[in-house]
Amino acid sequence: HNMTLSRNHFPAHFRWGSATSSYQIEGAADTDGKGKSIWDTFSHTPGKVKGGDTGDVACDHYHLWEQDLNLMQDLGLNSYRFSISWPRVLPAGKGTVNAKGLEFYDRLVDGLLQRGLDPFVTLYHWDLPQALQDTGGWVNRETAFHFADYAAVVSERLGDRVKHWITHNEPFCTAMLGHLYGAHAPGIRDLKAALQTLHHVYLSHGLAVPVLRQNSAQDAQVGITLSLHPVYPFTDQPEDLEAARRHDGFRNRWYLDPLYGRGYPQDTWERYGASVPDVQEGDLQTISAELDFLGVNYYFREVVQHAPGEGLFDVREVHLDGVERTYFDWEVFPEGLTALLTRVHEEYQPKKLFITENGATYQDEMVGGVVQDEDRRRFFERHLQASLDVLKKGIPLEGYFAWSLLDNFEWAEGYDKRFGLVHVDFQTLTRTLKRSGEWYRDFLRVPVVP
Ligand code: FCB
């Protein structure tokens, strides 16, 4: 039934976008008064990023942004999700505003609106000002209040035009990749620090929600983006079903429950033992501030089995043989998207849902100026089909953002993992639309039936 996939099967008001983030594309790491972020520090620390790559130049979007906006217009998108670099706006994380930094985003928003692209602005996509890391980063409760002040600075300037705000991107990654596994900045390995980080990230989110509403138009929408993974038991034996439930607490419920007024899930809290975060009175109330939408980033599912003694959760992740995988080794599993959004809808009832990221990395080859990324094209097509299945169930899914517009700095993987609809030559910075990008453009080009 893939043959029949058409834009016209989706609602006319559906948001079609692509997503990026500041550190991954902007470059200009110390241009025009920008302060250092924890990713500047981390990427310049030997051994942290594959190949010693850094985001110093990246796609140089800071200088080439008009070209990139034109690309999106040519693709026929109606929305664009990007993030703001906190240290570009507030070099020390707090205090003095860097006028040139704020002006960059001001021009970007105007440029988007002129091209019929609605800005979806993420305030935090992992590039914490280094100055705040120096005073403890997210482990320090004060950082949450600095975030709310930063949200005020940005929304006072852009709130007359921005209608969609996303406070944080993937708090799981900020907390766990940054503070438990040490694979991302700031490279800490400590469960207690990771859980305290998550709690302060959530507190900062809850403090920022009313600030963003107050500084924006009446119809502005405020949300947050989570990375969620549907968890499947390896067998239907009761012990594997229970392992899946425990892993789901670690991966999903720990993040969903507090946002929807349920506090931290009791079973997971008990597993974390002495590492649980310090929670002050009123925090959970602040954190569960009403949301206008939930953003979901979907990449893959996880299959787990009961494994006594392994980790805190007695769980082992199973690497299935004979399934399709991307260059990241992530399983291609479009049905997981439908299952995930159905579950989130049934258990938490977000007012609206957006797929704020979905995409795949493959070892693209440019031959004669052309990237024939049929595997990526198929990936998008099948996940859009899965999105349609979500809509057919009456679930309020309102948009889809392909990750990513451009090949870019893929964190600890550097430039080795390409996710773009548009190929970037990192020597010349030349942009070339891939076959998948042409497909997305042609898919979007059909006349919209109102
Ligand atoms: C997500 C991140 C995004 C990108 C993709 C591949 O976890 O939000 O920045 O790295 O994965």
Look at 250-254, 293-297, 438-442, 445-449 and tell me which has the smallest mean pLDDT. Answer: 445-449
Ligand 1 pocket check: which of 184, 406, 410, 418 to mutate, most ligand atoms within 8 Å of Cβ? 410
* pLDDT at position 3 over 70: no
Who's near 57: CB < 8 A, 6+ residues apart?
A: 27, 29, 426, 429
Q: HEC states along 151-185?
A: HHHHHHHHCCCCCEEEEEECHHHHHHHHHCCCCCC
Give Cα separations from 375 to 19, 150, 215, 322, 442 (angstroms). Answer: 20, 40, 43, 16, 17
* pLDDT at position 34 over 50: yes
Task: Name the pTM for this structure.
Answer: 0.98
Which strands sit side by side in the sheet containing 302-306, from one edge to the other? 231-233, 302-306, 315-317
Distance CA 110, CA 117 (A): 10
* pLDDT at position 448 over 70: no
| Average pLDDT of the residues in 35-57 | 98
406 C-alpha to ligand 1 centroid (Å)? 12
Closest by CA to 360, choosing from 397, 332, 392, 319, is: 332
359-392 pLDDT, tens digit per residue, is 999 999 999 999 999 999 999 999 999 999 999 9
CA atoms in the 13 A half-sphere facing the CB of 225:
30
Q: In CATH, which of 3.20.20.80, 3.30.160.60, 3.65.10.10, 3.40.630.30 is domain 7-444?
A: 3.20.20.80
225-261 pLDDT, tens digit per residue, is 999 999 999 999 999 999 999 999 999 999 999 999 9
Q: Is the peptide bond before 404 cis (omega within 30 degrees of 0)?
A: yes
- Complete DSSP assignment for 93-130: SSSS--HHHHHHHHHHHHHHHHTT-EEEEEEESS--BH
Residue written as token pair 């070892």: 363
- Cβ < 6 A, ligand 1 pocket: 21, 24, 169-170, 173, 227, 297, 357, 403, 410-411, 419
Taking the domains of the chain in order of start, what are their residue ranges? 7-444
Report pLDDT for 2.
47
SS3 category, 270: helix
Active-site residue numbers? 170, 357
Ligand 1 pocket check: which of 53, 224, 357 to mutate, most ligand atoms within 8 Å of Cβ? 357
**Mean pLDDT estimate for the chain:** 98
SS3 category, 6: coil
282-312 pLDDT, tens digit per residue, is 999 999 999 999 999 999 999 999 999 999 9
| Average pLDDT of the residues in 397-413 | 99
* pLDDT at position 1 over 70: no
5-25 pLDDT, tens digit per residue, is 999 999 999 999 999 999 999
Report pLDDT for 30.
96
